[in-house]
Amino acid sequence: MKKIMLIPALMLSASLMADNEKYEVTPVIGYNFVENNLALDDAMLYGVEAQYNGFDYVLKPELSVLYSDVDYENSNLSTDIYRFALNGVYDFDKMGSITPLAKVGIGYESISDTYGTQNSDGAFLDAGIGAKIDLAKNLALKLEAIYMLKDGVKGSDNNLATLVGLSYAFGGSKPAPVVEEVVEEEEVVVVDGDDDMDGVLNSVDACPNSLAGEIVDAKGCKFDNDTDKDGVLNSVDKCPTTPANQVVDQDGCMLLVDLHINFKTNSYDVDDASQPNIDKFANFLEIKSNYNAKIVGYTDSRGKASYNKMLSQKRADAVKAELIKRGVEADRIETDGMGEENPIADNSTKEGRAKNRRIEATLIKN
């Protein structure tokens, strides 16, 4: 048996005072890094976070508002972006003067001026980590990194924000004095092991039944990888063999852009109604000079398959010719004719066949 003295109340009073505060307000400044965003530049962030600690819950509610003035890439256009988020914040046990934290929540992004069809207002999920470092009574330096996952019009539109701010805590009550006392505690001997032989001790192994030979992470769980290097982990990648440099959606599959160009039966002439859509895509390629495009033509199922494949190739080549007329370099555009493959509508109806006589584009990072 051994006797342990509790720390006297006078030594605890300063830290308990800060822990009892109900409110935290943090003005922040930082930098936003765009990811899979097809038009916007990285930019500075400004905002404020307000957290309420009065509830006896694991997660503390936090409301944050962030603002950026963002330029469009390769353009003199800019836009105001406001992000509003409601998060749950978990404060880990304090280590000296440092309190690690983690957060998760939902939010909404408002874009004042959109360009083309690549960006729009929408909801996002966010998650982040950080720490508060005590500077003085009720005042701390707050550091955070927050990842925001947004499902955009043409695929994922994600952002990584790094923030720094001064957190001020207030609104608490004076803690009750701690009475010095003596308690007795039995000495416990802990025997740790590694039952599943994965190199991670049982006391920290979150997956204690790992299969023999599996590569595991620090918590003893199967390591998730990104085999095709498209930014989507294998565990959620529905297209795990995507070719290199392809722009993908949140499922790891190639991002297809429907150019909304339809053709009459047995024709590869681009009609007047389709010209504005070609203008928009040409403008996009002019702004995003780091992307090439592959134009893919399709037909409906009527006629011989060999003839349809030839006709779809001519349709793709016709769209390429229109893009070149608008100043897009020829070596940035590939074409392919898929004929009647991959229908998107019912070929037994007139409307369905019209939809299948279409042009799609995939984007390739150069």
The mean predicted confidence, pLDDT, of the chain is 82
Residue 100: what pLDDT? 96
Residue 344: what pLDDT? 92
Given a cut of 80, whether residue 82 has pLDDT beyond it is yes
Is pTM, for the whole model, over 0.85?
A: no
Residue 8 near residue 180 (C-beta atoms within 8 A) = yes
Which of 190 and 277 is assigned the larger pLDDT? 277
Q: Per residue in 219-239, pLDDT tens?
A: 877 766 677 676 677 776 667
Which of 189 and 304 is assigned the larger pLDDT? 304
Question: Where do the structural domains in the chain lie, given as residue ranges?
Answer: 21-170, 190-223, 256-365
* DSSP string across 226-287: -TT-SSS-TTT-SSTTPPTTB-B-TTSSBPEEE------TT--PPPGGGHHHHHHHHHHHHH
Residue 257 near residue 361 (C-beta atoms within 8 A) = yes
Q: 256-365 adopts what CATH topology?
A: 60s Ribosomal Protein L30; Chain: A; (3.30.1330)
Specify the CATH class of 21-170 in words: mainly beta
Residue 11: what pLDDT? 40
Given a cut of 90, whether residue 64 has pLDDT beyond it is yes
